[in-house]
């Protein structure tokens, strides 16, 4: 019975800590989107991040913003991660948003990116992790996502089949025309004029009988 009581107290303590942390999180609205709904491989785009501070009496400091794109991979040949980016300020603080209703209670950022032209160009979500301070002056991470679409490439087999069928139809039409011309010319050569056909000589008359 005593163990059950201790376990219940521990669970309540953990829940209380979580509730306290949730209450301490800054009341920030974060939105993110791209400047186009669909991008082709090799095309450039812009990621737009908009933030609004709804804290009544507290300013919020933004430390850094981490971006991870759908084509995030580790390139063993280059020995580095590709498709991610961290935005930092000249100092520890990237930007500061004032309290709710102040002139600087918001923050806006545009980040340019390029969709890869190789097989990494796929649709997905851009991960956006924002490190900032809460009213208790402790670090807090806010996470959001932005959708990004890349059209799927057309299957190569269908493209090749369409090209092959077009070439085959053209070849059949050309062969049919050539065959028709050959048949017409052959028919004209096979029917010579009647005036040129030699006739067999007439047989000689029978000899006359003597009286």
Q: Report the greatest alpha carbon distance in the chain.
A: 169
- 21 pLDDT tier (thresholds 50, 70, 90): very low
Task: Name 130's bridge partners.
Answer: 65, 142
CA gap 73, 148 in Å, rounded: 17
CB 93 within 8 A of CB 139: no
Give the pLDDT mean for 72-83. 94
pLDDT at 33 over 60: yes
Distances in Å between the Cα of 128 and the Cα atoms of 31, 87, 153, 178, 185 are 10, 11, 27, 66, 77
Percent of the chain residues topping a pLDDT of 90: 51
Threshold 0.85, pTM exceeds: no
Domain chopping of the chain, boundaries: 26-148, 153-182
Q: What's the CATH number of domain 26-148, 3.50.50.60, 3.40.50.20, 2.60.40.10, 3.30.360.10?
A: 2.60.40.10
Torsions phi, psi of 36, nearest 5? -140, 150
pLDDT in tens, 173-210: 888 888 878 778 777 665 555 555 556 666 666 666 66
């Amino acid at each position: 019975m005593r163990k059950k009581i201790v376990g219940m107290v521990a669970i309540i303590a953990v829940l209380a800590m979580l509730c306290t942390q949730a209450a301490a999180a800054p009341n920030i609205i974060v939105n993110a989107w791209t400047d186009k709904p669909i991008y082709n491989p090799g095309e450039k785009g812009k990621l737009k991040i908009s933030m609004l501070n709804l804290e009544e009496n507290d300013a919020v400091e933004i430390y850094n913003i981490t971006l991870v794109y759908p084509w995030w991979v580790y390139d063993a040949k280059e020995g580095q991660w590709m498709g991610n980016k961290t935005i930092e300020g000249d100092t520890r603080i990237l930007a500061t948003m004032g309290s709710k209703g102040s002139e600087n209670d918001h923050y806006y950022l545009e980040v340019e990116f390029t969709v890869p032209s190789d097989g990494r160009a796929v649709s997905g979500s851009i991960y956006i992790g924002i490190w900032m301070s809460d009213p208790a002056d402790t670090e807090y991470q806010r996470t959001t996502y932005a959708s990004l679409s890349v059209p799927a490439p057309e299957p190569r087999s269908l493209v090749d089949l369409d090209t092959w069928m077009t070439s085959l139809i053209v070849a059949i039409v050309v062969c049919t025309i050539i065959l028709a011309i050959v048949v017409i010319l052959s028919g004209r050569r096979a029917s010579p004029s009647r005036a040129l056909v030699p006739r067999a000589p007439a047989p000689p008359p029978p000899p006359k009988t003597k009286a």
